[in-house]
Amino acid sequence: MDNAALLAKIEALEAAVALTKTINAEVFYWWCTALMVAIHAGFLAYEMGASRAKNALASGLKNLLAFAFLVPTFYFFGWWIYLAFPTGFTVSDAAAAGLPWSESMGPNLGDNASGIFWAAFTLFAATTASIMSGAVIERIRMSAFTILAILLGGFVWILGASWGWHPNGWLTSQWGLHDVGAAGCVHTIAGFFTLGVLINLGPRIGRFTSDGKVVHIAGHNMPMSLIGLMLIVMGFFGFLGGCIIYNGGTWMTIYNTPATLSAFAFNTLMGVAGGMIGAYVVTRDPFWMMSGALIGVISSAPGLDVYHPALAFLISFVGGLAIPKIADFILERLKIDDAVGAVAVHGFGGVWGLVAAGIFAAGYPNVEGPAVSFLGQFMSMLVFVVLGFVPGYLASYALKALGVLRVAPAAEIAGLDIAEVPVKAYPEATIPAYGTSVMSPAE
């Protein structure tokens, strides 16, 4: 074989390897996105189970609506926001690629990346909206929830992601923020947005006695909730896989620092276990144990790439011990009816995760900006808290002022299924609480 033929073979081989890398990367994010759908199956089951039988389908419908509306919203606005605002509020030149009429935002043989990254981010967006949806069940108007979900998933969280979960985000380039698993932009923002909404929404009828005592409102299907929570944990493997940048050859964090998927595997599992055990110790409650699994993932998320697995376990264990107590405080002292503990699990879980990375991951260098520090993590956490809370509070305040935030008391008492849903959850069930005849619990 002469030199020219050899060179041609080498060039062909190099082209084949490059194509394989590109396709591997596409395939990787495709399946991460598919796995993330399990998060939504999980939220669906979890929230329907946590609702009383008379509201089961309405709660599920709310989840389906959030998912369905978030996809187009994130296509029209969300991806552009992510590309536009890494430096704050000035629009970056890169934003043009995120406009829905740009060449990158549709089938393009020269762009194997935009669609697959957009899809993964869209599922992150839908996750933020789902975080809010459990807290507000059984009394929010479907339309108000949809508007708030679009605001949170299509605008607010992605602005936070542009600031703090982007290779050039100003929280990293100026303060050294390290949050590889998106505890801040997804969980903290969604948790505090939810808190703002709950303040205006108010508790479910009958949640508190006239002298302020808490009345326990049990969901109608705890096993369904537990399975749902386990599905969310499974989906988080897609979520966290989608948080790591794979270019077909190497793995990097969103901040362009080197990483391995193995690191994420060690610490995700150890975090899940730590959170579950911690929550079990303080509650003995399987619902909180599975919420503890989420707390564990969120607590370790910012440092999944660098923590020793035992440290990830301990950080998540502490989260599992503390967060159920914070949920009690929010309910009993602040009199805020968060039906599933979302503010505590996601909001304060994210706060703890970000601060813990400041304590235990300080000193790691960044590619852009200063090294990881406690102060940088703490200040970034405050930014996420404010960025979540203020829009959630203001938007729900406006909806309340217009009289469209909450269902009418008659509908809430009768049950939202009978009020608004044309099908029955359990058409042949006999529920003693509703009498002895065969009937829908919604009747």
Partner 1 sequence: MNSAPITAWEGAKAYFTFADRPGVLMFFCAVAIVACAASIASMMRHETSCSKKLG
Residue 125 or 259 having the CB closest to partner 1: 125
Minimum gap (Å) between residue 160 Cβ and partner 1 = 23
Per CB under 8 A, 11 contacts partner 1: no
* 97 burial type by CB count under 10 A (0-12 exposed, 13-18 middle, 19+ buried): middle
> Among the candidate windows 25-33, 49-57, 108-116, 273-281, which touches partner 1 by CB under 8 A?
108-116
Residue 153 per-residue DSSP state: I
- Judged by CB under 8 A, how many residues of this single chain contact partner 1? 28
* Integer Rg of the chain from CA: 23
Per CB under 8 A, 408 contacts partner 1: yes
Minimum gap (Å) between residue 188 Cβ and partner 1 = 27
**Which of 146, 291, 377, 396 touches partner 1 by CB under 8 A?**
146
Please state, in angstroms and rounded to a whole number, the distance separating the CA atoms of residues 261 and 351.
24
> Among the candidate windows 81-89, 95-103, 287-295, 342-350, which touches partner 1 by CB under 8 A?
95-103
Minimum gap (Å) between residue 46 Cβ and partner 1 = 23
Please state, in angstroms and rounded to a whole number, the distance separating the CA atoms of residues 231 and 202.
29
> Among the candidate windows 22-30, 130-138, 310-318, 405-413, which touches partner 1 by CB under 8 A?
405-413
**Which of 411, 424, 431, 434 touches partner 1 by CB under 8 A?**
411
Q: DSSP letters of 268-302? A: HHHHHHHHHHHHHHHH--HHHHHHHHHHHHHHHGG
**Which of 29, 43, 67, 69 touches partner 1 by CB under 8 A?**
69
Minimum gap (Å) between residue 97 Cβ and partner 1 = 11
Q: DSSP letters of 155-180? A: IIHHHHHHHHSSTT-HHHHHH----T
In the three-class reduction of DSSP (H, G, I as helix; E, B as strand; rest coil), residue 107 is classed as coil
**Which of 90, 101, 216, 363 touches partner 1 by CB under 8 A?**
101
Tally Cβ neighbours within 10 Å of residue 200: 18
Per CB under 8 A, 231 contacts partner 1: no
Per CB under 8 A, 107 contacts partner 1: yes
Alpha carbon 320 to its chain's center: 18
Residue 110 or 432 having the CB closest to partner 1: 110
Residue 72 or 370 having the CB closest to partner 1: 72
In the three-class reduction of DSSP (H, G, I as helix; E, B as strand; rest coil), residue 89 is classed as coil
Please state, in angstroms and rounded to a whole number, the distance separating the CA atoms of residues 90 and 92.
6
Minimum gap (Å) between residue 400 Cβ and partner 1 = 15
Q: Which helix (H) or strand (E) holds 245?
A: strand 245-246
Residue for token pair 């369904």: 224
Per CB under 8 A, 141 contacts partner 1: yes
Query: Binders of partner 1 among 360-399, rule CB under 8 A?
Result: none
Helix axis angle for 349-360 and 189-201, nearest 10°, is: 150
Question: Cα 249–255–41 angle (5° rounding)?
Answer: 80
Per CB under 8 A, 20 contacts partner 1: no
Minimum gap (Å) between residue 177 Cβ and partner 1 = 33
Per CB under 8 A, 432 contacts partner 1: no
Per CB under 8 A, 420 contacts partner 1: yes
Please state, in angstroms and rounded to a whole number, the distance separating the CA atoms of residues 321 and 184.
20
Sign of CA dihedral 257, 83, 77, 28: negative
Per CB under 8 A, 111 contacts partner 1: yes
Per CB under 8 A, 419 contacts partner 1: yes
Minimum gap (Å) between residue 101 Cβ and partner 1 = 4
Residues within the interface to partner 1 (CB under 8 A): 65, 69, 72-73, 76, 100-101, 103-104, 106-111, 141-143, 146-147, 404, 407-408, 410-411, 414, 419-420
